[in-house]
Structure 1
Amino acid sequence: MLSFFRLLSALPIGLLHSVGAAMGWVTFALSPTYRRRFVANARQAGYGFGAVSAAVGHAGRMVFEMPRIWLGKLPRCTMVNEEVALKAYARGKGILFLTPHIGCFELSVQDAARRWSSQHGDITVLYRPARQAWLAQILETARNRPGVQAVPTTLAGVRQMIKALRKGAAVGLLPDQVPPQGLGVWSPFFGRDAYTMTLAARLALQTGAAIIVARCERLSWGRGYVLYLEELATPLSPTLEIAVQEINAAMERTIRQCPEQYLWGYGRYKQPRVESPAAAGESAAEGQA
């Protein structure tokens, strides 16, 4: 399977996007559950299907561009508001890059690392090891690209993130990812309570790191990507539950800037999974950040 991924990683990004868009619509047509969730999530945010139908194709593009982002030559990516990150690095308290499941979020960290890791150190990202052996092999190769340090969802992994921030380096997270039971709080997201991780807020409050919201949009016809950076509008509240709400609100604003590239089919409002005692002991790292 790794050989197949390497083969795909050598293909032009435009071709991968074309195939991916078609497969996105095939999946939408064949999966009633996915289709219902997509439409319901979009409606919850105030969008009719027509307004966000392009997101069906973009979900497929996301899947098919992964081999290129993980294993191949990184595609062209321009950056808007780079000075936001440079200013934050100059403060020396670290950067917490946050992005929802929008656009090519995998490229966000890769492009940032390509630009700044040589001067400011690796960007640390959190990942959950894959259960399938073939996927775990691919992720082990892909996640640790030059300038990126992937750490597992364990206490040791979270400690590495805190250490990186305190050294003035950067950390990347997807705060709209549903955490396991006991590692989040119920917080409004587009007007409906969603189980939301507390890790992002805890890291920021504990270390004083700057929060930068990132959004990496795909350009049409395989022309590359644009990475937008934006400072959090106001400092986080020192109260954890309010800080989590503020991060959710920031994610909402980012999604509304490009709703046609958000993963509306993601189970954002699902019930958190209950882990086995051993796994929960490892993942409790998040609650101790």
Structure 2
Amino acid sequence: MKSFVKHIIFKFALKFFMGLGRILGKKQLITVSSFLGSLLYSLSWKRKNVAFDNLKIAFEQQYKESELKKVLKKFIQEIILTALEIAFIVKKKEKLAQWAKVSGIEHLDEALKKRKGIIALSAHLGNIPVMLAWLAEKGYPVAVLFKEGKYLPEGFLYNLIKSYKIYPIPFRSDREVPKEIISALNKNMIVFILADQARPGIYAKFFGKYVQCQKGAFVIAQRKGSPLVPIFIVRGENGHEIKIYPEIELQKQVEILIEKYNCLLEELIRKYPEQYYWFHRRFKRMRVH
């Protein structure tokens, strides 16, 4: 019964946001997201509490609780704004050229010359669909590992990804996915993997805590010799900024590769705390080192 109710809520929310994307102008997106985000912040719900607990763990030495509540509110507003932007772009069939600027594109071009594909290490930070679609629109061979939303209509993300000429790699199982990733790398594609979720794999340092980190992307890169290129997107003062970093030099120790990635991600999160997806239970399993 609980799952059925959530499915109905998600279905309604999807129609609601797509409807707003159709009728709102670009300049109205911020105003509407601010209002809806403030409304959601005022309510009590489970994931909001999860996000606040995560913020307290990550920033326990940096912010007071009152300051963290402001970050939480801005985070919820940011989530709404991201959803409205995606709906707006889809419904208005917007070109992405004016939506983002990029720095470090030369790192991507150099890595592609190696003809071994690229594992693009990204995270649940900023408006990820804008980043993927922007690069695909520029002619880059983009692929992305993703998981369909549990309560979204069947095939929703798959069809949306394909519509932007991005190669979709649905997560099916830990056994099947590496084969599809390797297949895309063999075609010299840029395979985006959001490597920041807690999954059984290895413990590495993140915000001063030793947390579970997935190692699949790093192990595949080691075996294939494919460049590991960190790529993130954030919302700056003048719009979205795609940040492409120099490739992480491959090493035998996976822990070192993961912590280099974690270090870059943490630096961005500290600068843009409201833009990280705090709903994930990122600190669920921590280990005393």
Q: TM-score range by the shorter chain?
A: 0.7 to 0.9
Q: Note the 1:28-47 alignment, pairs <5 A.
A: 28-31=41-44, 33-34=49-50, 36-44=52-60, 46-47=62-63
Aligned: 1:58 with 2:78: yes
Letter in 1 for 2:20: L
Match of 1:7 in 2: 19
Q: Which residue of 133, 138, 148 maps to 1:129?
A: 148
Aligned: 1:151 with 2:166: no
CA gap 1:199/1:241 in 2 versus in 1, 3 angstroms = same
Q: Please state how far the C-alpha of 1:271 moved relative to its aligned partner.
A: 4.7
Match of 2:126 in 1: 103
Q: Which residue of 211, 226, 230 maps to 1:194?
A: 211
Letter in 2 for 1:149: Y
Q: Note the 1:196-235 alignment, pairs <5 A.
A: 196-219=213-236, 224-232=239-247, 234-235=248-249
Distance 1:13 1:115 in 2: 22
Match of 1:259 in 2: 273
Q: Which residue of 94, 109, 118 maps to 1:73?
A: 94
Aligned: 1:249 with 2:272: no
Q: Which residue of 105, 109, 112 maps to 1:89?
A: 112
User: How many equivalent pairs are there?
Assistant: 261
Q: Does the CA contact (< 8 Å) of 1:37 and 1:265 recur in 2?
A: no
CA gap 1:260/1:130 in 2 versus in 1, 3 angstroms = closer
TM-score by length of 1: 0.77
Match of 1:23 in 2: 36
Distance 2:35 2:86 in 1: 16
Compute the RMSD of aligned alpha carbons: 2.9
> Secondary structure of the equivalent of 2:59?
helix
Distance 1:158 1:69 in 2: 31
CA gap 1:8/1:230 in 2 versus in 1, 3 angstroms = same
Aligned: 1:165 with 2:185: yes
Seq. identity, %: 22
Q: Please state how far the C-alpha of 1:191 moved relative to its aligned partner.
A: 0.9
Q: Does the CA contact (< 8 Å) of 1:216 and 1:228 recur in 2?
A: yes
Q: Deviations over 1:67-90 (max 9, x none)?
A: 235564244222122212111112
- The unaligned stretches of length 5 or more in structure 2 are 1-10
Distance 1:114 1:91 in 2: 22
Q: Does the CA contact (< 8 Å) of 1:125 and 1:173 recur in 2?
A: yes
Higher mean C-alpha displacement, 242-251 vs 76-85: 242-251
Match of 1:269 in 2: 283
Q: Please state how far the C-alpha of 1:18 moved relative to its aligned partner.
A: 2.5
Letter in 2 for 1:83: E
Distance 1:177 1:70 in 2: 27
Aligned: 1:174 with 2:194: yes
